[in-house]
Structure 1
Amino acid sequence: MSDRIFIKEGLSLDADELQERFIRSSGPGGQNVNKVSTAVELRFDVRRSPSLPAYIKANLRRQAAHLMTQDGELVMQVQTHRTQARNREEAIERLVALIEKAAYRPKRRIATKPTKASKRRRMDSKTKRGAIKKLRSSKNFD
Structure 2
Amino acid sequence: MDDLRVSARLLVPDAELSERFSRSSGPGGQGVNTADTRVELSFDLARSPAVPDDLRGRMLARLDDRLVSGVVTVAASEHRTQLANRRAARERLASLLRDAAAPPPKPRRRTRPTRGSVERRLSAKSRRSETKRGRRGQGWD
Question: What is the match of residue 99 of structure 1?
Answer: 97
Q: Read off the aligned partner of 2:88 and give its amino acid letter.
A: E
The 1:16/1:107 distance shift into structure 2, 3 A limit, reads same
Which structure 2 segments of 5+ residues have no match? 127-141
Q: CA deviation at 1:22?
A: 1.1
Q: TM-score, normalised by structure 1?
A: 0.68
Question: What is the match of residue 70 of structure 2?
Answer: 72
Which structure 1 segments of 5+ residues have no match? 115-120, 134-142
In 2: Cα distance, 1:45 partner to 1:112 partner: 40
What whole-Å deviation, never above 9, does each CA across 1:92-116 have from its counterpart, x for those lacking one?
00110011101111354496898xx
The 1:112/1:36 distance shift into structure 2, 3 A limit, reads closer
Q: CA deviation at 1:21?
A: 1.4
In 2: Cα distance, 1:56 partner to 1:33 partner: 41
The 1:113/1:78 distance shift into structure 2, 3 A limit, reads closer
Question: What is the match of residue 90 of structure 1?
Answer: 88
Q: CA deviation at 1:31?
A: 3.0
Q: TM-score, normalised by structure 2?
A: 0.68
The 1:105/1:31 distance shift into structure 2, 3 A limit, reads same
Superposition RMSD in Å: 3.0
In 1: Cα distance, 2:109 partner to 2:24 partner: 53
The 1:29/1:62 distance shift into structure 2, 3 A limit, reads farther
Identity %: 37
Greater Rg by CA: 1
Question: What is the match of residue 13 of structure 1?
Answer: 12
Q: Read off the aligned partner of 1:7 and give its amino acid letter.
A: V
**Residue 23 (structure 1) aligned with residue 22 (structure 2):** yes
Q: Read off the aligned partner of 1:6 and give its amino acid letter.
A: R
What whole-Å deviation, never above 9, does each CA across 1:95-140 have from its counterpart, x for those lacking one?
10011101111354496898xxxxxx96xx98xx9xxx9xxxxxxx
What whole-Å deviation, never above 9, does each CA across 1:43-74 have from its counterpart, x for those lacking one?
110111111123433333333334321x2111
In 1: Cα distance, 2:111 partner to 2:22 partner: 59
